[in-house]
């Protein structure tokens, strides 16, 4: 799994709007001062300027007239993450879309690789964690001002769905509509602080059936008064994000640093990380690492961050858990962002214990059929 500051959303509309959204997980500008393919010693070609949705649309119109993974992880044991949720879209591509896509060269930022990628890869956007009573915890950047299709503004309530009760993206009986979304009002794409949101599943009798059968289990959320982390404590991140390594300075694209197509797995992947001191991420990310963030990475024997092991685009919003006494797991974070994918850098997760009061307020203020921000702006003056 690998992501980066880029929030880790997955990519996928012909207009390239999804690619623009994915870059949100990329690291903000700093103040002045299948298994992943190995990175070879051959220098990759210079990164192309990011394509905008508009530029991709213009090129498509011209052609017509002329004729949000886990990197270095392993498959999760079946049934080991019954709280795992997928946030997905419903893209529709006709033969004209596919014909145009075939004309684009590999590496073209507007190329979606429709012929190479499975339908579940094209639909996948983000992860989430089921926390009970139809509530899903995820990252704000997965549901805030999502791009729509054909350059149009998106609506998360109608342009996104949820997949619950399975660890395999080819299982189709667990698709649900979204009833409401609550986003932390302190989140902005510019700072990436307070990267947390809740989504509520629309009422559906299958929820109770899934819970009764054990297909869907709510994961307990770490509370402010729970035990603190041990130094280097083992944590587990799970997701369906890209699996190819991407170096820190490589532009976000559908190709990894080895120039291989980024792929999403059908089966849920998992990776063991270590809890890291806040100071380590604060040094790496500066003002973009706030009090509501958690720092994690896979530690090598010499204390450095292992290269090739990370969360990535498409893992965003997915659960970071730890083992409690008795073997049960609790939700300590959701995937937020980082630098590259498996680039040997610590990654940023949203710290759930920091947002206990916010989660309670968000549930109380949610409105069916609406996307709301909490706290309300007039009450958010003291929020960071």
Sign of torsion, CA 116 120 125 129?
Answer: negative
HSE toward the beta carbon, residue 225, CA cutoff 13 A: 1
pLDDT value at 23 more than 50: no
Give backbone dihedrals phi and psi of 361, rounded to 5 degrees, phi first. -65, -40
Using CB atoms within 10 A of its CB, is residue 94 exposed (0-12), middle (13-18) or buried (19+)? exposed
**21-40: average pLDDT:** 39
pLDDT value at 311 more than 50: yes
pLDDT of residue 251: 67
pLDDT band at 52 (very low <50, low <70, confident <90, very high): low
Over residues 198-243, the pLDDT tens digits come to 999 999 999 999 999 999 999 999 999 999 999 999 999 999 987 7
| Under 8 Å between Cβ of 180 and 367 | yes
Closest CA to 237 of 298, 162, 302: 298
pLDDT of residue 220: 98
pLDDT band at 7 (very low <50, low <70, confident <90, very high): low
pLDDT band at 24 (very low <50, low <70, confident <90, very high): very low
Give backbone dihedrals phi and psi of 66, rounded to 5 degrees, phi first. -85, -5
From 3-17, 76-90, 101-115, 164-178, the region with the lowest mean pLDDT: 3-17
Over residues 122-165, the pLDDT tens digits come to 899 999 999 999 999 999 999 998 877 666 778 999 999 999 99
In angstroms, rounded to a whole number, what is the distance separating the alpha carbons of residues 281 and 277?
Answer: 7
pLDDT band at 60 (very low <50, low <70, confident <90, very high): low
Pick the more confident residue, 346 or 255.
346
pLDDT band at 68 (very low <50, low <70, confident <90, very high): very low
pLDDT value at 277 more than 60: yes
The domains located in the chain, with CATH, are: 17-61+68-379 (2.40.10.10)
Tokens of 2: 């690998």
pLDDT of residue 274: 96
Best mean pLDDT range from 75-79, 337-341, 375-379: 75-79
**254-265: average pLDDT:** 75
Question: Given its phi and psi angles, is residue 171 left (phi above 0), alpha (psi -120 to 50 degrees) or beta?
Answer: beta
């Amino acid at each position: 799994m690998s992501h980066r500051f880029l929030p880790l959303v997955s990519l996928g509309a012909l207009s390239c709007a999804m690619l623009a959204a994915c870059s949100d997980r990329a690291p903000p500008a700093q103040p002045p001062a299948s298994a992943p393919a190995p990175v070879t010693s051959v220098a990759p070609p210079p990164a192309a300027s990011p394509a905008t949705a508009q530029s991709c649309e213009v090129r498509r119109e011209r052609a017509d007239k002329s004729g949000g993974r886990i990197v270095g992880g392993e498959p999760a044991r079946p049934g080991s993450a019954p709280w795992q949720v997928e946030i997905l879209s419903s893209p529709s591509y006709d033969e004209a879309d596919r014909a145009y896509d075939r004309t684009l060269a590999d590496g073209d930022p507007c190329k979606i690789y429709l012929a190479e990628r499975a339908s579940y890869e094209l639909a996948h956007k983000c992860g989430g964690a089921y926390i009970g009573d139809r509530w899903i915890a995820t990252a704000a950047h997965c549901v805030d001002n999502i791009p729509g299709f054909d350059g149009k503004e998106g609506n998360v309530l109608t342009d996104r769905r949820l997949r619950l009760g399975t660890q395999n993206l080819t299982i189709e009986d667990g698709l649900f509509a979204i009833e409401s979304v609550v986003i932390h009002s302190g989140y902005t794409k510019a700072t990436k602080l307070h990267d947390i949101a809740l989504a509520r599943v629309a009422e559906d009798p299958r929820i109770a059936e899934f819970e009764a059968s054990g297909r869907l289990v709510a994961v307990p959320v770490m509370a402010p008064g729970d035990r603190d982390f041990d130094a280097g404590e083992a944590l587990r991140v799970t997701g369906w994000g890209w699996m190819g390594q991407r170096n820190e300075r490589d532009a976000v694209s559908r190709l990894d640093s080895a120039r291989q197509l980024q792929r999403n797995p059908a089966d849920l992947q998992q990776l063991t990380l270590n809890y890291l001191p806040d100071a380590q991420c604060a040094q790496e990310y500066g003002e973009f690492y706030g009090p509501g963030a958690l720092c994690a990475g896979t530690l090598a024997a010499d204390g450095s961050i292992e290269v090739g092991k990370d969360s990535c685009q498409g893992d965003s919003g997915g659960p970071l858990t730890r083992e409690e006494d008795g073997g049960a797991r609790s939700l300590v974070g959701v995937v937020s962002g980082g630098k590259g994918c498996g680039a040997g850098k610590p990654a940023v997760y949203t710290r759930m214990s920091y947002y206990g009061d916010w989660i309670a307020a968000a549930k109380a203020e949610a409105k069916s059929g609406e996307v709301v921000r909490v706290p309300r702006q007039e009450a958010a003056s003291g929020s960071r």
